Amino acid sequence: MTTPEPSSPRPPDHTTPKPAASPPESDRTAPRSPGTAAPHSSGTTAPHSSGTTEPAAFPPSIPPVDSGSPGGRGGARVVAFRAGLHRARVEFRQSATSAQDVWGALFLPAVALVVMYLLRHNTVPGTGFSLGSQSIPGVLGLNVVFSGMMALAMTLTMDREDGTLLRAKATPNGMIGYLTGKVLSRAGMAVAGALVPLVPAAFLFDGLRLGEVSSWLTLSWVLAIGLVAVLPIGAVLGSLFESAQAMGVITLPLMALMAVSGVFYPLTALPGWLQVVAQLFPVYWLGLGLRSALLPDALAAAEVGDSWRHLETAGVLGAWALLGFALAPAVLRRMARRKSGSAVAARRAKALQRPL
């Protein structure tokens, strides 16, 4: 994108927006010579040149008008939010009925279930508990990150390329509805990606506490706060990367983070500094929270501090949520602003490539 921002400074010779002072204005009555020196006759009537020039006659811009209406701007935004809920429903249905999307959401747990089933006779060191069962909640946590955060980031970059985002910009309050729809439909897929694998897991593995109300309560709040933590990050990532391909660079660090997040390997077995790094990111805490929901309490002994650390889980995930919500609006706005610029640039480049 070599084209400058659309908001780049206006050329110095035309900076004054006042009609009275702007050079084009003075050009109008004289033989027209906008820009360069080619002379023009007045053979064609310019739209405005009805004899005398009246530089001050250019109509003033009418200020925003909708704030005075009963529903006002807020009412229109509520309508847009509701339209966003409709969008979320439709897009969730589209994803849930698309083989590609379903595969994307269930690929990781499916592979994990098979591997863990083969390893089911190994036990967590120091206990008689199956290592396979112990790993399942962490895998589901990873899956939330993948089908929530990464999928949202991917969708945003792709929608920027195909014009979906520009369509939202062309619609009044369209960005509100667009983001509501995207975030909620991706959240829906992430929840489905976490819950659906529990069905086969219940048959394949022993020891998961699926029959207790308390485990479902824990599962609910961990998933909720986890999604609120990772989805805004997904939105930020999706806005920062130019294309879906460029997002590839983020996969590697994410893989590294997964490896040290205590899903496949107990965190306590890692060097101290790695433990600190892992505990800075939401992946570990999502996994820990889900383990606390689905595993017997005795297994807390295998965790850092011999505890499920619910308070810390809520704290770290909450901090990420705050960070995400602080960053996301500004980054998303920047993305929406830049969109039209790059679209024009691309089109212009294409136009210039034509043989002249």
Partner 1 sequence: MPSTSAQVDDELSRGHFNEKIEGMNPGDIEKEKPDEPAIETRGLRMRYGSADVLRGVDLRVRRGEVVALLGPNGAGKTTTIEILEGFRRRSAGEVRVLGTDPDDGDEAWRARLGIVLQSWRDHGRWRVRELLDQLGRYYTPYSTAERRRPYDPQELIGLVGLEGQAEASVARLSGGQRRRLDVAIGLVGRPELLFLDEPTVGFDPQARQDFHELVRRLADLEDTTILLTTHDLDEAERLADRILILVGGVIVADGGAAELTRRVSGKAEVRYNLDGEWHAASVEDAAGYVRGLFERHGDAVTDLEVRRTRLEEVYLAMVRDFESAGHAEVPGRLAEVPA
Of 116-145, binders to partner 1 (CB under 8 A) are none
Residues whose CB falls within 8 Å of the CB of residue 218, separated by 6 or more in sequence, listed in order: 289, 292, 293, 310
Q: What is the DSSP secondary structure assignment for residue 225, as one 8-state letter?
A: H
The reply on whether position 244 binds partner 1 by CB under 8 A is no
CB of 352 to partner 1, least distance (A): 6
Out of 51, 52, 61, 128, point to the residue binding partner 1 (CB under 8 A): 61
Burial of 213 per CB tally in 10 Å (0-12, 13-18, 19+):
exposed
- Nearer to partner 1 by Cβ, of 171 and 268: the residue is 171
Out of 200, 296, 329, 341, point to the residue binding partner 1 (CB under 8 A): 341
The helix (run of H) or strand (run of E) holding residue 292 is helix 282-294
Give the binding range for partner 1 (CB under 8 A) out of 58-66, 119-127, 184-192, 278-286: 58-66
Residues whose CB falls within 8 Å of the CB of residue 49, separated by 6 or more in sequence, listed in order: 28, 29, 42
d(C-alpha 40, C-alpha 22), whole Å? 19
Q: x/- contact string, 30-49, with partner 1 (CB under 8 A)?
A: --xxxxx-xxxxxxxxxxx-
The reply on whether position 79 binds partner 1 by CB under 8 A is yes
Q: What number of CA atoms fall less than 13 Å from residue 79's CA on the CB side?
A: 10
CB of 222 to partner 1, least distance (A): 31
Burial of 79 per CB tally in 10 Å (0-12, 13-18, 19+):
middle
- Nearest of 166, 125, 108, 331 to residue 234 by alpha carbon: 331
Out of 213, 249, 252, 351, point to the residue binding partner 1 (CB under 8 A): 351
What are the φ and ψ backbone dihedral angles of 303, each rounded to 5 degrees?
Answer: -95, 170
- Check: CB of residue 331 under 8 Å from CB of residue 234: no
- Nearer to partner 1 by Cβ, of 20 and 269: the residue is 20
Q: Which residues are paired to 130 by β-bridges?
A: 123
Give the binding range for partner 1 (CB under 8 A) out of 10-18, 121-129, 136-144, 309-317: 10-18
The reply on whether position 56 binds partner 1 by CB under 8 A is no
The reply on whether position 50 binds partner 1 by CB under 8 A is no
CB of 332 to partner 1, least distance (A): 16
Q: x/- contact string, 153-172, with partner 1 (CB under 8 A)?
A: ------x--xxx-xx-xxxx
- Nearer to partner 1 by Cβ, of 177 and 262: the residue is 177
- Check: CB of residue 328 under 8 Å from CB of residue 232: yes
Q: What number of CA atoms fall less than 13 Å from residue 309's CA on the CB side?
A: 18
- CA distances for 163 relative to 2, 145, 238, angstroms: 20, 26, 15
- Check: CB of residue 239 under 8 Å from CB of residue 335: yes
d(C-alpha 290, C-alpha 344), whole Å? 47
- Check: CB of residue 95 under 8 Å from CB of residue 184: no
Out of 11, 128, 271, 305, point to the residue binding partner 1 (CB under 8 A): 11
Q: Which residues are paired to 123 by β-bridges?
A: 130
CB of 95 to partner 1, least distance (A): 9
CB of 248 to partner 1, least distance (A): 22
- Nearer to partner 1 by Cβ, of 17 and 126: the residue is 17
CB of 103 to partner 1, least distance (A): 16
- Nearer to partner 1 by Cβ, of 295 and 332: the residue is 332
User: Encoding tokens for residue 53?
Assistant: 């020039």
The reply on whether position 51 binds partner 1 by CB under 8 A is no
CB of 94 to partner 1, least distance (A): 5
Q: x/- contact string, 177-216, with partner 1 (CB under 8 A)?
A: x---------------------------------------
The reply on whether position 99 binds partner 1 by CB under 8 A is no
The reply on whether position 19 binds partner 1 by CB under 8 A is yes
- Nearer to partner 1 by Cβ, of 164 and 275: the residue is 164
